[in-house]
């Protein structure tokens, strides 16, 4: 299944595939005369009638069997456990993720140029998914002294965030937005007021009360969003909110966009596919940050995806060891795997009639790539040959046996889903193939 071709082949023709590209609006039915032609690491051409006058004589032909061919997924938020780039790569390519952006809470923290360069080298050495790093906003992710942004940006940091920690100090956040704006950089905030959230372990409400668990109120998210929107307006900085989880948050962001504030946001699959009842009887796989919210908030997140208030979907991939999840709920670690289920759960928006296939794919390809200025997420002549072949209808069950990651902590454990990656191509190399 996982393949490690040392280098891309010469001419390769991918034929008989439904071609899907959200960037151009391409949606061409599968046929034997259309497809994608690659040469080494790059796409030569794409089209519904690309091979109408004949196939290049020396091309290797790959018949996609009428399945969907789309840009590789662009995951704008993952966490890397320690330095395990190998395991991250395996999880990514099996889920169709060809480009991922890692949070700076690595070991060591990505708060200077040398660590940015280390992450890029380590990802290349693993030879699977392309990984770009976020830089830290503050030194050591401690929320006080600003880290250097100019130099790490020049070395490849695509934006700046303190990962799973909110910048709670208002002056520090204002300085970060102001400083970043001089370089045209984006500040990514984890919107959760620490003092309101620090004792909580799930969403505040009836379910938490019934289970005897301390809740995290939605106000923890709202307070940070309201404050930072004011700061973005004051400084002219470019602000992005990660994993937005409540309807009221979206109302604030929607109004701010209407006022011309430079703000964007993303969400993650658990917040439109699950609600707080997934915690069940203290199910730690459903312990996330931010926590799963109520059903009304879940529906509001879907509405935000439909009307464009939410700009992208990120997996929020957070691998955890069994030892940190097999604990009493209050003591268990936050987070869940996300890359291997990103496509299938996003496709639920299509199967349930909320979004078109192209619109759903755009949220996990084109939009995150454009937000971060990445050369990814499109099928275009001259672009890197990064794409996937997938069956949007193929059913499977999320379970330990069907996940490639060493960690197995997914909030979707046991869930029947539709949508399976069949092939993943990165720089013209077939790195994942279910038929291999």
Residues labelled catalytic: 316
Cα-Cα end-to-end distance for the chain: 5
Helices (H), 23-162: 85-94, 113-126, 150-155
Give me the residues paired with residue 26 across strands: 21
Distance, in Å, from the CA atom of 133 to the CA atom of 119, rounded to the nearest integer, reads 7
Distance, in Å, from the CA atom of 58 to the CA atom of 39, rounded to the nearest integer, reads 11
- Residue 193: partners with Cβ closer than 8 Å, 6 or more residues away: 166, 168, 219, 220, 221, 223, 224
Q: Judge whether 15 and 61 are in contact, CB under 8 Å.
A: yes
Q: Judge whether 293 and 245 are in contact, CB under 8 Å.
A: yes
Distance, in Å, from the CA atom of 183 to the CA atom of 135, rounded to the nearest integer, reads 14
Angle, CA 219 vertex, CA 325 and CA 158 arms, to 5°: 65
Neighbours of 259 (CB within 10 A): 9
Burial 202-214 (b: 16+ CB within 10 A, else e): bbbbebbeebebe
The structure tokens listed for 252 are 């604030």
- Percent composition of the chain: helix, strand, coil (DSSP 3-state, to 5): 35, 25, 45
The three-class DSSP label of residue 28 is strand
The three-class DSSP label of residue 86 is helix
* Bond from prior residue into 348 cis (ω within 30 degrees of 0): no
Residue 127: in which H helix or E strand, if any? none
Q: Judge whether 172 and 143 are in contact, CB under 8 Å.
A: yes
**Regarding beta strands 68-71 and 387-397, do their DSSP bridges make them parallel or antiparallel, or are they unpaired?**
antiparallel
Distance, in Å, from the CA atom of 99 to the CA atom of 101, rounded to the nearest integer, reads 7
- Residue 220: partners with Cβ closer than 8 Å, 6 or more residues away: 192, 193, 196, 197, 200, 290
Residue 176: in which H helix or E strand, if any? helix 170-183
Write phi, then psi, for 36 (nearest 5 degrees).
Answer: -125, 135
């Amino acid at each position: 299944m996982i393949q490690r071709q040392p280098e891309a082949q010469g001419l390769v023709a991918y034929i008989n595939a439904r071609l899907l590209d959200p960037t151009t609006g391409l949606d061409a039915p599968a046929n034997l005369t259309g497809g994608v032609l690659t040469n080494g690491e790059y796409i030569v051409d794409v089209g519904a009638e690309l091979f109408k006058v004949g196939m290049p004589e020396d091309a290797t032909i790959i018949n996609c069997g009428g399945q969907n061919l789309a840009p590789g997924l662009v995951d704008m938020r993952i966490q890397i456990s320690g330095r395990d780039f190998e395991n991250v790569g395996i999880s990514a390519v099996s889920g169709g993720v060809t480009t991922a952006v890692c949070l700076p809470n690595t070991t060591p923290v990505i708060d200077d140029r040398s660590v940015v360069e280390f992450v890029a080298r380590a990802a290349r050495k693993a030879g699977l998914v392309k990984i770009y790093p976020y830089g830290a906003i503050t030194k050591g992710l401690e929320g006080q002294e600003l880290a250097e942004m100019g130099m790490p940006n020049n070395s490849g940091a695509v934006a700046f965030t303190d990962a799973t920690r909110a910048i709670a100090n208002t002056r520090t956040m204002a300085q970060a937005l102001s400083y970043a704006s001089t370089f045209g950089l984006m500040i990514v905030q984890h919107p959760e007021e620490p003092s309101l959230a620090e004792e909580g372990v799930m969403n505040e409400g009836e379910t938490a009360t019934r289970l005897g668990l301390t809740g995290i109120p939605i106000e923890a998210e709202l307070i940070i969003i309201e404050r930072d929107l004011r700061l973005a307006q004051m400084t002219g900085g470019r602000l992005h909110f990660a994993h937005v989880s409540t309807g009221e948050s979206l109302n604030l962001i929607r109004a701010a966009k209407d006022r011309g504030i430079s703000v964007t946001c993303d969400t993650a699959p658990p917040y439109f596919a699950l609600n707080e009842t997934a915690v069940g009887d203290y199910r730690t796989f459903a312990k996330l940050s931010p926590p799963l919210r109520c059903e009304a908030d879940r529906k509001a997140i879907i509405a935000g995806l439909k009307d464009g208030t939410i700009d992208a979907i990120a997996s929020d991939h957070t691998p955890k060891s069994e030892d940190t999840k097999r604990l009493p709920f209050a003591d268990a670690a936050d987070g869940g795997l996300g890359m291997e289920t990103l496509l299938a759960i996003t496709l639920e928006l299509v199967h349930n009639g909320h979004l078109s296939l192209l619109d759903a794919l755009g949220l996990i390809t084109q939009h995150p790539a454009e937000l971060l200025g990445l050369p990814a997420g499109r099928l275009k002549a001259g672009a890197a040959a990064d794409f996937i072949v997938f069956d949007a209808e193929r059913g499977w069950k999320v379970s330990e046996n069907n996940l490639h990651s060493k960690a197995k902590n997914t909030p979707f454990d046991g869930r029947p889903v539709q949508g399976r990656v069949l092939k993943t191509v990165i720089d013209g190399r077939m790195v994942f193939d279910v038929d291999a």
